[in-house]
Structure formats: structure tokens, C-alpha cells
Amino acid sequence: MKRYLFTLSICLISFLAKAQLGYNYAQYDLGVSGALNYAYTDAETIKGTPAVHLHFTYNHTPFLNYIAEVQLGKLAGGDSVNTLSGRQFKNNYSAVSFRVQLQAGELINYENSMFFNALKNIYVSSGIGVIYNNMDEIHRNSLYIPDYTSTGRNNSSEAFIPIKLGYEFKIFNSYDEPAVKLDLGYQHNLILGDQLDGIKAGIHKDMYKQFVVTLKFGIGGYTSYRKSIRPN
């Protein structure tokens, strides 16, 4: 009798474990990104510059994520010689932000549908952040208009609103858990001020956009979702 109960228990445990394949996920991720920045400011010329992002993510579900992010990078623009205003800047910036990310899989029924299964990892994300501006190089005077100059600060901090769209490729381990994630995104950062370039001019706020490639790694706190993350 004991042997029968032991065998039945093993079978039941194996069945329950197998039933959870495809449902489990890590509640916490660590990630790193490479980004290409383009600043739209009071400087007329737009230039591409690099940045690195570091992330900590809390996954409320596999498709609803809360992300704390640190950015370290450069922003640049303008041309002191070939523009009338003479505005030119290089900004070695850092930024911190918090975003909520909602993926389509939280809203749609993707099980048993190849089409919706392909759409489930599309996401939209937004939140709030603070950027710390540090002008490594700044030129505010015109070479062509006598006595023309622009005002501004070499160092400043400003709030910004990040808005991000993208797609997250989930890479599953042998237990059908999304252990690694490859994220391709476009992020639009709306600055709530006018000192991103160290120049205050005009009536429009500054902004910068980013094309971002991210790798995230699940680090623990495993739990289960209400449906298979990777349906057959």
C-alpha cells in the first residue's frame, strides 16, 4: 500500500510539474541596452551619439512590467561654423527614470492563434524621469551676426517623459521559461525644460529620441502566469 501511494504521489507531482511548463516566469530581470541618440533642440544640426542603459525590471506578469532605468551617454548637435546662430553643444548626460510597460499579451487571447501569438510581445511604455545635463562643449555666439548670443546653463537637471514602443523577443530555457529577452525599441523623450543643449531659445521644449537594443536576463522569484506564455 505504501509503495502504491508513493508511486501515485510521484506521478501526481510529475503531472503537475509538466502542466506548468510554459506558464512559469522570473519576476525580476536585469538588463543592459545600447542606444543611438538624436537630440532635437535649439541647435540646428542633428547628430547621432551613443548611450548605455542599465535596467532593473519587476515583472508583475510576463506582459506587465515595471522598469527602473539608468542612462549614461552623450547628446550633441549644432555647428558653430556652418550655421547662422553658431549654436553647438556636447552634453555628457546621465538620467534615471521609471516606466510601466504593457505588452499586447496582457490584453489579447493569443492561445491557439499564430497571428495573435506573434503580436503578443508588442509593447508600449511610459513614465517619468530626470536627466542631468553636463555640457562638455558649448558654443552660443554667432560668427556671422554681430553681438548675437544665446543664453543657457552649462549644468542643469530637468524632468522628462519617456515614451517607448517596441517588441520583446522571449528566449525560453529547457523548462519553457522566458530566461532571456531581446528587446528592440524606439524611445521618445520629452524634456519638460529647455536646457538639454545648454541653450535657452525659442518657445519649444527640447527632446531626444533613441533607437535601443536591450538584453534582459531573468534572475529569480519564479511564479506562474494564468496561461501559457509560450502556447503550442
pLDDT bucket at 7, cuts 50 / 70 / 90: very low
Cα–Cα distance, 149 to 77 (Å, whole number)? 17
Q: What is the 3-state secondary structure (H, E, C) of the chain?
A: CHHHHHHHHHHHHHHHHHHCCCCEECCEEEEEEEEEEEEECCCCCECEEEEEEEEEEEEEECCEEEEEEEEEEEEEEECCCCCCCCCEEEEEEEEEEEEEEEEHHHCCCCCCCHHHHHHCCEEEEEEEEEEEEEEEEEECECCCCCCCECECCCEEEEEEEEEEEEEEEEEECCCCCEEEEEEEEEEEEEECCCCCCCCECCCCCCEEEEEEEEEEEEEECCEECCCCCCCC
1 confidence band (pLDDT: 50, 70, 90): low
Q: How is the chain split into domains, by residue range?
A: 2-224
| Topology annotation, domain 2-224 | Porin (2.40.160)
pLDDT tens-digit profile of 138-153? Answer: 999 988 888 888 899 9
Q: What whole-number distance in Å separates Cα of residue 208 and Cα of residue 66?
A: 22
Q: What are the C-alpha distances in Å from 47 to residues 4, 30, 41, 96?
A: 73, 30, 11, 23
Read off the pLDDT of each residue in 208-222 and give the average, rounded to a whole number.
96
- What's the grid cell of residue 61? 506578469
**pLDDT given at position 15:** 39
Least confident of 2-16, 61-75, 87-101: 2-16
pLDDT in tens, 34-68: 999 999 999 999 999 999 999 999 999 999 999 99
Task: Assess contact for 128 and 97: CB atoms under 8 A.
Answer: yes
Q: pLDDT tens digit string along 137-196?
A: 999 998 888 888 889 999 999 999 999 999 999 999 998 999 999 999 999 999 999 999
User: Phi and psi of 140, rounded to 5°?
Assistant: -115, 0
Comparing 6-10, 67-71, 85-89, the range with the smallest average pLDDT is 6-10
